[in-house]
Structure 1
Amino acid sequence: MEMPPFQEVLSATEAYLTTLNAILPLFHPGRLLQLIHNWYAYPGRRERTTWAAINVVLALAHRRIPSDEATLRESAAHYLHNAQTVLSEVIMGNADLLNVQILIGMVLLFQGAQDLKPATMLIAIALRLAHELGLHTRSAECLDTSQVLERDRVFWIAYILDRDISLRTSRPPVQREADIDLEWPSAQPEDGAGNVAQADGTFPFNFFQCRVRLARIQGEVYDFMVATRAGTMDNDQRDENIVRLNHILDDWISSIPPPFQPSSVLQAGQPNLCRNFAVLYSTHVACRTYVYRAHAMASRWMQSLQSFGRTVTRQGYIVPVPLPTPSLQDWEKLVDESRGYMRLFWAVERRDPAFIWMTACTYISGSVCLTANIMFEPCHASVEHDLSLVNLSISLLEDLIQQTGHEPLKDLRDACEELLHYAYALSPRADV
């Protein structure tokens, strides 16, 4: 059970604790550091699950440390592989909190992969172990406050991942809402876990609680817009759900203070803040596009735009625009939110593969919305700016195709290029 020198591990762990663990508090900092100290101080007491936990932390740290600042000698994949060699012991051993944390840490790593199957399987196992420990209920009142908080936070991170993977894969979540008996994370925790702040340390805001609330919305979007029963609802029921879900999404985004809205984050120039909120707003825009069935993989939406583009480029605006939203105001909101997210996407300095796979689909869906908006209103003031964002999405798709050779991505690129051709043809503001 090889491990890097103590100081290297300590440095990487501290980097993890001040970045990813600061917003998604999977580990209690003091207990994690004690675990690592004990590993090096007492070689005779070493356990393989502890080794797996440290390797997961190193892999997560590696994802957040710029390459020019890295002290670890191996890659994130190396440390993840080490943890995987102990997976059967983690799953089949006694249920304890550390085993759940190991599994959730691995899900966080696999969540940023092209293939979500490993993440899908591991989150199911993690939640079953969490249920065995009673993490989803108030069953730990005999423990001290910090231990109870750690258990609760571990469960809520599993909940976030479960809802996120469910919506991204269009498969049912594991955790039922009816089985949860926990208070939501505090917006003002005494230990500051989950807080983010401006560069000068002012205006703290609890990112973690905000993300849990968005996960709850993701679950509702799945239930009412994606699940099998959603396809059996009549138009009136569907319209009611669209209105209700949009109100929930409006309430969620309006609860975020001005310093952490997309335009403010963009101007703040804080790399970690920018990345974290880019992923957050990607999830929000994804929910919005699922509610309207206006995401890039929605064949009916794409086909309606292609048909509209062919007609109006040949015959003029003789047909109504195929708005996916109940009103023009709703459409303008979707376009504005897509544009704000897409600008934030390009402001992220380190767009590593994990970031790309978690956010690219939403970026491309937003690109389709901006292209459609030019087709609908070819003289609006942001045409040139929007076209620059759209052209970047074509480059993004080309990169993904080169990496995967995935045929559906090639079809999507061709469809996006067709729509972009119509946008250029229709807009006098487009610089051909």
Structure 2
Amino acid sequence: MRVTNYLGAVAARQIFMLGANLRQIRTSPVSERSQKRQNHLRNLFWICYTLDKDIALRTGQPPVIVDENCDLTMPEGYTERAFSDPEKDDNPSAEPIFPFDLRLSMIKSRTQSHLYSVSAMQKSDADLLKSIRELDDELEEWRLSVPPQWRPTMSFSQETSDPNMSMHSVMLRVNYYLCMSVIHQASSRCKAWMQGSGMMDGVSSSLALSVEASRSTLCYLGAAEHVLVEGVFWTLIFYPMSALLTIFCSILQNPLDPRSRDDLDHLKMATVMMARIFSRNLPETEVEHLKLVADFVTELKRLAECAIDKAWREQSASSHVAS
């Protein structure tokens, strides 16, 4: 992680030195070569920006690129071309497809800043829940702006269909569900709830959305298994692991919840699913990593099952004593 942060800092410094963080406002005609150079620099900036915000959200570390030091005006015509499918688009002059939707990357940036930065950790319960609501509104506004054929559903289950499944739609969906999960998971920091003052309705519903987004991640990856390209281990592994940990924590928090057994099944199926997805033509050097992941998920499943069984035994014993 230190190496990643260091390389990110070096790349960001170079981007800023080249002025790529700013959009050049043309006051006079420029040569075609100068225009191509500026467009290329801006594309490099957006690639660094999206990766930086994603890494910050994954690791919990501060981003290297600060929004206040950048012009975040999107490329001209971006929203019209943002959802062209690189697997089907044979137009070589099409707008480059960035690692993530730029607007979603901006939401990731504000999520880290408003919910997980040092200053955000000091927010009162009311301010924290306000930030969560505002970010949730932004995320929903983004979702509704996505063309219907690509638009992620708020929840995905085995009964849900997606006729446009491709690696493009997979990355779109898992990043949407990740943002939903991370935004609402922050509600668990509410001091009133942490101090045992009871589960407030706002916190309860927010945490439920986080868990549902995690369930949707696993269900969608399982349904999209046939479109996943080979060699996606390091690209995708974070998403199911983040979802599994959220579901695991939910089981520990509410082992008697009616859906806990179903969530336990999600943990069981995830082990098989990930082995099937990620083991295809996996290089020998990566096999050990996959084995570590499988062992970890198996242990999560065992601990979750123990928590559920223990909670039911205690409830049964209490009921027996009361009668």
Q: Under TM normalisation by the shorter chain, which class is it?
A: 0.5 to 0.7
2:239 and 2:98 map into 1 onto residues whose CA distance is 19
- Specify which of 338, 341, 355 is matched with residue 217 of structure 2: 341
Q: Whole-Å Cα distance in 1 between the matches of residues 302 and 102 of structure 2?
A: 36
CA distance in 1, matches of 2:287, 2:180: 23
- AA at the equivalent of 1:229: S
* 1:373-410 deviation digits (Å, cap 9, x = unpaired): 98454169xx65x4432213456899999538989x95
Where 2:202 maps in the other structure, the secondary structure is coil
Deviation for aligned residue 1:196: 2.8
Q: What aligned pairs does 1:52-201 form with structure 2 within 5 A after superposition?
A: 116-139=1-24, 141=26, 142=30, 144=32, 145-186=35-76, 188=78, 192=81, 195-196=84-85
Which residue of 2 is the match for residue 259 of structure 1?
A: 149
Residue equivalent to 1:16: none
- Equivalent runs, 1:203-282 vs 2, <5 Å: 208=98, 211-262=101-152, 267-268=162-163, 270-282=165-177
1:391 counterpart residue number: 268
Q: Distance between the aligned counterparts of 2:56 and 2:107, measured in 1? A: 12
Query: Residue 359 in 1 paired to residue 245 in 2?
Result: no
Separation of aligned partners in 1, 2:106 and 2:7? 20
Query: 1:133: how far off?
Result: 0.8
Match of 2:179? 284
From 375, 398, 403, the counterpart of 2:289 = 403
SS in 1 for 2:149: helix
Query: Given the alignment, which residue of 323, 330, 336 partners 2:206?
Result: 330
Displacement after TM superposition at 1:161 (Å): 1.0
Could you tell me how far 1:344 is from its partner in structure 2?
Answer: 1.7
Counting aligned pairs with the same residue, the percent is 18
d(CA) in 2 for partners of 1:256, 1:425: 45
Please give the secondary structure, in 2, of the residue aligned with 1:267. Answer: coil
Deviation at 1:226, TM superposition (A): 1.9
Task: Call closer, same or farther: CA 1:187–1:279 in 2, change over 3 Å.
Answer: farther
> What stretches of structure 2 of length at least 5 have no aligned partner?
279-285, 313-323
TM-score if structure 2 supplies the norm length?
A: 0.66
Shift of 1:364: 1.5
CA offset at residue 328 of structure 1?
4.7
Would you say how many aligned residue pairs link Structure 1 and Structure 2? 281
Distance in 1 between residues matched to 2:20 and 2:258, nearest whole Å: 53
1 CA distance for matches of 2:309 and 2:183?
Answer: 26
Structure 1 position 159, deviation (Å): 0.7
Gaps in structure 1 of 5+ consecutive residues: 1-115, 295-300, 309-318, 428-432
User: For residue 403 of structure 1, what is the amino acid of its counterpart?
Assistant: H
Q: Could you tell me which amino acid in structure 1 is paired with residue 117 of structure 2?
A: A
